[in-house]
Amino acid sequence: MKLTKMSHACVRLEKDGRTLVLDPGGFSEHDAALGAEAILVTHEHPDHFDEQRLRTALEADPAVEVWTLRSVAEKISAAFPGRVHTVGHGDSFTAAGFDVQVHGELHAVIHPDIPRITNVGYLVDGGRVFHPGDALTVPGRPVETLMLPVMAPWSKISEVIDYVREVKPQRAYDIHDALLTDLARPIYDRQIGALGGAEHLRLAPGESTAL
């Protein structure tokens, strides 16, 4: 499996000539979803869900399908009947040849005064990759590669470190990093790497690795 980190929270997975894209939001490249056979969206926030990016991908290829939660599906399903699938915690499906399990229900708490929205994470191919969206969801299954939301308005570094410890992946790659400056990255790298208990790695936007 080939993993390509796009900007912020977007990830492309390729296997056997097929491509799955997760969270091509407004902080990611405009063409982040193009060329994908299947697209997964964790929640409705614009840095994870950009309606125009999804519409462009769906219009460019009539074979493209989307799996997401209800709040996102309601915005685009009418224009693409039969191609937008609503999923929730506990569901399983196959997308672009990848086996996917859905874990989680709610977005992390940003502030007690802000109502929580729904959020789901996707466990791909039996735990080879887990993308939690905007939550610190523990899937309760072994995880080889954790896509780690490293910096967000709803988190602090101690929570990120404890999340790596609880999931116990073989390795953790940073995502959700558009708000993290290059000056601060060495601090996060050092502390998460030293305290998380797993190999902590980072890819630049557009950079790939083999899993």
In tens, the pLDDT along 182-204 reads 999 999 999 999 999 999 999 99
Q: What's the average model confidence in pLDDT over 174-178?
A: 97
For 37, the 3-state DSSP assignment is coil
Q: What is the pLDDT of residues 3-59, one digit of tens each?
A: 999 999 999 999 999 999 999 999 999 999 999 999 999 999 999 999 999 999 999
Residue of 121, 181, 143, 188 lying closest to 161 (CA atoms): 188
2-210 maps to which CATH number?
Answer: 3.60.15.10
pLDDT of residue 179: 93
For the chain, what is the total number of helices (H) and then of strands (E)?
Answer: 4, 14
CA contacts within 13 A on the Cβ side of 76: 25
Please report, for the chain, the start and end positions of each structural domain, with discontinuous segments joined by +. 2-210
For 129, the 3-state DSSP assignment is strand
pTM of the model: 0.97
pLDDT of residue 10: 98
For 134, the 3-state DSSP assignment is coil
Whole-number Cα distances in Å, 9 to 4, 35, 171, 174, 195: 11, 18, 17, 9, 23
